[in-house]
Structure 1
Amino acid sequence: MASKKAVAIEIGYSLTKICEVDYKTKAHKIYKSFTVPNGAEVINDGALMVSPEYVENLQRALAANHVKTKQVVFTITSSRIASREVTIPYVKENRIADVVNANATDYFPVDLSQYQLAYTILGTIGETKGAQQYKLLVMAVPSALLTGYYDLAKALKLEVAAIDYASNSIFQVVKDECAKGKHIVVKIDERSSLVMAVENSVLTFTRSVSYGFDEIMETVMNTLCWGEVSNVEQAIRVLQRNDCIVPETGEDSESVGAGEKSAKDRAQEDVFDAVMPLINGITRVIDYYASRASGVAIERILITGAGADFKGMAQMLARETNMPVTVLKEAAGWNLMRNFKNECFSEYIACVGAAVAPLDFKREAEKRGKDKKAKKEGTSQGTNWAPLAYTIFGVGLVAAAALAAVPLISYAQLTKTNMELKAQAGSLEDIIPIYNEFVETQTRYTMTEAMYRTTESRNEELEEFLGELEDKLPSNVNVISLTSDQYQVTINMRVQTKDDAGETVEQMRSFHSLIPEMVTVTSLVEEENEESGESTINFTVTAAYQVVGYEPEETDGTETEGMENDGTDAAAGDAAVTAE
């Protein structure tokens, strides 16, 4: 039986990537691959604006490459696609969609009649069979966003087989390559990048970075250092073949005077400045994932997409992340080197993966179409049961009228309420981007706060401690030396009598920055001046700091006084024991 083929299309801001591949087969075969310049801008954050010129360009390209396949699979990326990680009961896989649809309003508080849902299984939680749950990534795409792709398919006289999400398309290619251990996959596109984590062939994390290589291309196109570059394709080839991205440029620039720099040096510095926002954005997401993930460390970072093949890009990312970075040129189960002999595979990774196991955002619409077709076919064949059906219908109609009389008014009220709630939910649809931004900002704040807490120590409050020491110590205490680290402080002091030493210890136990029970006298020596005959007490106190952020509890005056008296006795006792 001949394999079923499909045309896989990914539409970028400047270029459209097209592959002719096998559709939903275990053996992955790529027949053709080519790119088509978009001309005018046809896409904005995943929303497609079909123009006659763009359709004509695609038709010419398909004809020139002898592509006769009539089924098309689109893979898309958009910030308007909402996603949530959820857990559901461990049901049969063919029942997962029912569970997701039943709880969809909890995941996405919008009018879901305007959205198409899809999901992918991230894994299972729990070890025992009764306690297991599915962990899913559920996505909701606006139906309006899909309209442009259906329009394009119609204009090209193609049938939409599926519409996939780019992260799933990429995952289908790399899942066998990442069968063991924890890996990061980064797809670098023109205006955005996608960061994914794959652990033991399971997609565990996905985030979008709002930086791509468009500024890098623009920088190369604005300089004549590598020749005249007039379009995106030329800029990409220049970046792939020349040392435009030099990781060391930023370090050495200060040591060379402006007059001594060559045109190439200055151009490389400009490219370096354009690359850094992208690198920093990717690094922040990887750091965030590493702070959340536990267990096995990240083995490597695989980079793909058109920007992955830029010379120096992998080295730059490796330097900033301090992790091994590899350009994805081959994947387990795919003979990529044979299929992409004369061109870079990274540009087409989402295309070739889209036809493997697409999420299929159009599944619900397809199902409705099939149901209508089945009903139509059912009415045109078989035995004529019309007389019996009319009899049963008449009896049922009388019974239904009687049963419906009472709840009819209640149903009308509920219908009205339902419509009002849908209208209210629709009016709140614009809050989704704001909510997503809030969640992302809150996550960054939490991560930053956690990082800051790890750097805090009591040494930061040493000035405050010294002020407290000056205010509370008796005036006749002479501090000889003080040593402090982030855990404790050691003070060597001299006083006239042992009572003075006890009072000093008592006062130190009242410091809010010290743990009272951990203020101890480690040595006490009585010294006598041979000339004057006066004696002095030389003693050392070691005290442990309270944890950072500690605030003393408020107590009434009676309890405080009692504690102070106890502290006096204890301090005097410590001094006496040490003296003996």
Structure 2
Amino acid sequence: MATKTVAIDVGATAIRVAEVELKGGGDPRVGAVLHAYAERPMPAGVMRDGSIEEPGAFAQVVKEVVSAAKPSGKKVVIAVGHPSVIVREVDVPSQDMEKVRQSLAFHVQDSLPMAVDEALLDFHPTSEVETPQGPFLRGLLVASPKELVRGLLTGLNTTGVQPIAVDHSAFALWRAGCRGELVGANIALVDVGAVTTTIAVSQSGATRLVRVLPQGGQDATKAIANAYKGSSVDAEAVKRHVGMNAAAANPEHRAAAEAVSHAMGPLIESIRNTLVYYAGNNPGAAVERIVLTGGGAYLSGFGQALSSATRLAVMIGDPFAGLAMSKGVNPDGFRGREAELATVVGMAMVGVR
């Protein structure tokens, strides 16, 4: 049976809305249809460190983007992907999922860096394992500070939309990117946003590790602005034009390329360290390929530098692979930067586990 879902992705620099209709069958993403899409830039100062600083301006942007997308309904799925959201692998006694969620706080209270009553908890099972204590479910625990989610829901109160589910952006990336031949592989889905980078490691079609790094493309923009301090240079435009390959840049742009390379170096190292950590804790299941999405996927030289640092093949993800589009969607608005839409498209596929 076909189902439609509307998703809102609240990013640091843009708000995006997408509506996807999933089909029936073994993989409901096969033959899925994008029925609506729109995006609007996030005005400066409206969001800061994942919190809404200007509720009125935020609500206005949400209203504008929803009006532009024209989805079939106002019930929406939203996502959180802030570094303060904890995602880690845990084992809990095997039982039906309703009972698992009811008892989750008891089982994980000693493994969280926050008080259980200050967190919203969820559990995504990936396998069942036998232990001396009996059968256990192994999966990913998601613990989000209540204040983070409460602030986002409050910000949406006056917009006319009705949030019905809260997702983690890493699971959205998995749904958008782990398809076809990638389902059976060990891959790392890496989404480089403006201020954060989300890593989701998938092993044989199941998300096994999630990490959100407090680094992103704006680090490079700030580095260029500092390098050209006192001038009227458009740092964002220079970043996109020059990239991070200083050796290939012409003399007038070499300083900018060096600044970008220096700024993005720590992020590349953090991604490499994450994958090394995963390989060390999962013998025989090391990541074989990186699927790169987000605005950072298009930063010239970044994919090559990441591939060199990790010694892995890096490919640009395409969340629209196999996805049909209705007549109401104009792809010209995102043609050539499809990888930036991976999170919102994957959120609208929330029915896929």
TM-score, normalized by length of structure 1? Answer: 0.52
Look up the match of 1:37.
41
Q: 1:57 to 1:195 in 2, by over 3 A?
A: closer
Deviation at 1:228, TM superposition (A): 7.3
Q: 2:278 matched to 1:279?
A: no
Deviation at 1:162, TM superposition (A): 0.9
SS at match of 1:155: coil
Q: 2:137 matched to 1:134?
A: yes
CA distance in 2 between partners of 1:189 and 1:109 (Å): 25
Look up the match of 1:352.
345
If asked which structure has higher relative contact order (CA below 8 Å, sep 6+), I would say 2
Unpaired stretches in structure 2, ≥5 consecutive residues: none
Q: 1:309 to 1:44 in 2, by over 3 A?
A: same
Output the amino acid matched with 1:163.
V
Contact 1:89 1:132 in 2 (8 A): yes
CA distance in 2 between partners of 1:24 and 1:163 (Å): 22
SS at match of 2:35: strand
Look up the match of 2:126.
122
Q: 2:277 matched to 1:288?
A: yes
Partner residue of 1:77 out of 81, 88, 93: 81
Look up the match of 1:505.
none
The correspondence of residues 418-457 of structure 1 with structure 2, limited to 5 A, is none
Output the amino acid matched with 2:178.
K
Deviation at 1:23, TM superposition (A): 7.3
CA RMSD of aligned residues (A): 3.4
CA distance in 2 between partners of 1:3 and 1:65 (Å): 18
Q: 2:152 matched to 1:149?
A: yes
Deviations 1:237-263 (A, max 9, x none): x62xx34221756xxx9xxxxxxx721
SS at match of 1:298: coil
Output the amino acid matched with 1:32.
A
Deviation at 1:198, TM superposition (A): 0.6
Look up the match of 1:11.
10
Greater Cα offset, 29-38 or 103-112: 103-112
Look up the match of 1:208.
212
TM-score, normalized by length of structure 2? Answer: 0.82
Deviations 1:24-82 (A, max 9, x none): 97243222333212213233333333521232233233323434531121111122223
Q: Which has the higher strand share?
A: 2
Contact 1:182 1:298 in 2 (8 A): yes
Look up the match of 1:570.
none
Larger radius of gyration: 1
Look up the match of 2:318.
329
Output the amino acid matched with 2:162.
E
Output the amino acid matched with 1:123.
S
Q: 2:99 matched to 1:95?
A: yes
Greater Cα offset, 35-44 or 202-211: 35-44
CA distance in 2 between partners of 1:34 and 1:331 (Å): 15
Q: 1:90 to 1:160 in 2, by over 3 A?
A: same
Q: 1:104 to 1:231 in 2, by over 3 A?
A: same
Contact 2:86 2:144 in 1 (8 A): yes
SS at match of 2:157: helix
Contact 2:2 2:22 in 1 (8 A): no
Q: Which has the higher helix share?
A: 1
SS at match of 2:296: helix
Q: 1:283 to 1:339 in 2, by over 3 A?
A: farther
Unpaired stretches in structure 1, ≥5 consecutive residues: 254-260, 360-580
Q: Percent identity?
A: 20
Deviation at 1:231, TM superposition (A): 7.9
